[in-house]
Amino acid sequence: MAILLISVFCTLFVLGFPVALSIVLPSIGYILYEDLTIEMIAQRMLYAMDSFPLIAVPVFIFAGNLMNSSGITDRIFRFADTLVGRIPGGLAQVNIFGSLIFAGISGAALADVGGLGKVEIKAMREKGFDPAFSGAVTAASAIVGPIFPPSIPLIIYGTVTSVSTVKLLIAGIGPALVCVAMLMTMTAVISLKRGYPRAPRWPTWRALLAAFLPAIPALLAPVFLVTGMLSGLFTPTEAAAVVVVYIILVSSLAYRELTWQHVLQCALDTLRASAGILLIVAAASIFGWILSVEQVPQAVAKFMVSISDNKYVLLLIVNIGLLIAGMFLDSTTATLLIVPIIAGPLVAVGIDPVHLGLITIFNLMIGLVTPPMGLSLFLISDIANVTIRQVIREMIPFYFPLVITLVLITLVPEISTWLPSLMDR
């Protein structure tokens, strides 16, 4: 029955059914076939929604939307341009560094692409950068968003596995910094080879201060967020609400660009995005419950242990599987369907669940920029006004730093676990 259930899901998904329907329809068929009460569907969906950490998802989406409407994005870009514009690659390096700063508030890859992407690609095009290269840099750097705190995918992972969400969010800082360093290095190599422009000189202290002062309120948001969670001042869910209030205050009092019309539009956009994510969460809860009833996690655990009890061999298998899954499924669906199955056997052989969380999400984020279903590729091709084929061709060099980062995260767990371990002292 489990094999049949998964086969029907895959068939519906390939045929183009919405993800939620692809999950729900075979689940309903199973419940009817097993002569279970139809009320079980509503019960499991409501149970999945009754989660305090999940409240953070729509609130962080709202925070990202507010940033795009309040002038914060422009000020982040100007500061990043002044700070790193002299490095080989110029605005391409600004693109990557700006994504790191923006990630400290948005928590989502597609928010980074849609937020900073429009500003960055337009500026890079005007400076003579190839539009497809600009799009590739933007898509690759947006991977940082879902691993640097706050992170919507990590919050969902924590909900599924009951792992401390605070530890997961703090654990993302190290991998995000490693990823940014790798991407900036590759960008410098490509830019030197192609002769892309950069700032003519390093900024003076006066110029740096002039760009830094307007950006201070935006730059303080991630610092305030991380410090508050580490100190126990607020939970990640409460942090989401704090960030929204902070952005509204900064935008209305300091920048004075946010209007009530902007807030209303941001709220509507948040409702649309959140409804899609939470519907998938609810649908996947039924699917996951059926898989557990059919003892699929136990069967997978037995199969994996029969292959090897070496954690690195198992991690290699899981990395390959997650990379493939990420090419076809969005991160929310993949996390909800795959993590409950693989987490048990991997934790049993000694893999830290926090470490596993970063491996999982980073794999799925690479899937966002990998054909055939990489959502970031479609979005960035629309923003940059180039074809998918052109973006993919320019993306090829960036897969190397992304894979190297993934290998480092996998083989050196301290990159992810060192900061969370300080919380236990």
Do 100 and 175 form a contact (C-beta atoms < 8 A)?
Answer: no
- CA distances (Å), 80 to each of 9, 88, 124, 329, in order? 44, 14, 14, 33
Write the CB contacts of 218 (distance below 8 Å, at least 6 apart in sequence).
67, 72, 75, 76, 101, 105, 250
At 138 the pLDDT is: 86
Long-range pairs of 41-46 with CB within 8 A, sequence gap ≥ 24: 41/286, 44/285, 44/286, 44/289, 45/282, 45/283, 45/285, 45/286, 46/282
Do 395 and 344 form a contact (C-beta atoms < 8 A)?
Answer: no
The mean of the pLDDT values for the chain is 81
Query: For residue 139, how far is the Cα from the chain centroid?
Result: 12
Residue 121 is encoded by which pair of tokens? 């690609």
Each residue of 340-364: pLDDT tens digit?
888 888 888 889 999 999 999 999 8
User: CA-based diameter of the chain, in Å?
Assistant: 74
Residue 120 confidence (pLDDT) above 80: no
The C-alpha atoms of residue 100 and residue 183 are separated, in whole angstroms, by 11
The C-alpha atoms of residue 3 and residue 320 are separated, in whole angstroms, by 21
Q: How confident is the model at residue 241 (pLDDT cuts 50, 70, 90)?
A: confident
Residue 83 confidence (pLDDT) above 60: yes
Judging by beta carbons within 10 Å of its beta carbon (0-12, 13-18, 19+), is residue 6 exposed, middle or buried?
A: middle
Let me know how long the chain is: 425
Residue 370 is encoded by which pair of tokens? 């990998």
Each residue of 41-60: pLDDT tens digit?
888 778 777 776 677 777 77
Residue 86 confidence (pLDDT) above 80: yes
Instruction: Phi first, then psi: give them for residue 204, nearest 5 degrees.
Output: -75, 165
Residue 106 confidence (pLDDT) above 60: no
What does pTM read for this prediction?
Answer: 0.77
The residue with greater pLDDT, 356 or 27, is 356
At 380 the pLDDT is: 78
Phi and psi based region of residue 128 (left: phi greater than 0; alpha: psi -120 to 50; beta: remaining): left
For residues 380-390, average pLDDT: 81
At 114 the pLDDT is: 55
- CA distances (Å), 169 to each of 220, 329, 354, in order? 17, 22, 9
Residue type, 205: W
The C-alpha atoms of residue 286 and residue 48 are separated, in whole angstroms, by 9
Q: How confident is the model at residue 326 (pLDDT cuts 50, 70, 90)?
A: confident
Tell me which of 46-55, 108-117, 252-261 is least confident: 108-117
Residue 411 confidence (pLDDT) above 80: yes
Write the CB contacts of 378 (distance below 8 Å, at least 6 apart in sequence).
388
Do 215 and 79 form a contact (C-beta atoms < 8 A)?
Answer: yes
The C-alpha atoms of residue 182 and residue 232 are separated, in whole angstroms, by 32
At 373 the pLDDT is: 64
Residue 382 is encoded by which pair of tokens? 């629309």
Signed CA dihedral, 285, 162, 149, 315: sign only: negative
**H helix or E strand, kind and range, residue 379:** helix 375-384
Instruction: Phi first, then psi: give them for residue 150, nearest 5 degrees.
Output: -80, 155
At 53 the pLDDT is: 67
Query: For residue 385, how far is the Cα from the chain centroid?
Result: 24
> Domain locations in the chain?
53-422
Residue 261 confidence (pLDDT) above 80: yes
For residues 106-112, average pLDDT: 52
- Cis status, amide bond into 150, omega within 30 of 0: yes
Signed CA dihedral, 85, 246, 69, 281: sign only: positive
